[in-house]
Amino acid sequence: MDIKDTYNTIDLPGEEALFKDKNSKFYGYTHPITKQEDVKIIIDTLKKEHHSARHWCYAWQLGTEKIRYRSNDDGEPSNSAGQPIYGQIQSFNVTNILVVVVRYFGGVKLGVGGLINAYRTAAQLALESSTIIEKTIDINFMISFEYKNMNKVMRIIKEHQLIITDQKLELDCKIFISVRKKVSDKINTLFSSLYEVEIKELDI
């Protein structure tokens, strides 16, 4: 069975996108996020930038296997803004992302159908103007061993071109590695079979 160990995301904020309908302006933005706390900081920045706007609606998604997400209508009728934005995150199949649509009210009400279309379109335009990249899902391990066993540990690391993310090399050594999910079981077994070497998966 082929294990899926890649996901789509963005590395950098996308270009500002603009959708207009009946004098209302909808500005779409995309931002990469790694934790929920990032959301408030970005929204606050956009509120300063667009201080005379009426609504700052958004949706975000985090995670690759355990997915967390939220959508916010920010005063617009229920499910007319946040959910259409989140629908575009799903359509583009991206995660670890925040999509914000800032609305300037143009004096003419759009109705719920018009709002859904406007927020969905602004989110779509923002995602289209973003550079979507593929990343691998990696598993992090800590390898613990005495210094005398350094050579056999390093041999496996070199043979399999493993990425060392951190290391503490003293009498008792700890090396931290990052491994693609699809080969993580094999690497775990290799280190587990070494005498006087311990490997432990880290929950990061």
User: Which pLDDT value is given to residue 170?
Assistant: 87
User: pLDDT (tens digit, 9 = 90+) per residue, 60-88?
Assistant: 999 988 899 999 999 999 999 999 999 99
Measured distance between the N- and C-terminal CA atoms of the chain, rounded to whole angstroms = 26
pTM confidence score: 0.82
Tokens matching residue 89: 């995150």
User: Which pLDDT value is given to residue 203?
Assistant: 80
Q: Percent of the chain beyond pLDDT 70?
A: 98
User: Which pLDDT value is given to residue 204?
Assistant: 64
Reported as type and span, the H/E element at residue 166 is: strand 163-168
Contacts of 48 by beta carbon, 8 Å cutoff, 6+ apart:
none
Long-range contacts: 192-195, Cβ < 8 Å, 24+? 194/145, 194/149, 194/152, 194/153, 194/156, 195/149
Q: What is the mean pLDDT of residues 113-121?
A: 97
User: Which pLDDT value is given to residue 2?
Assistant: 62
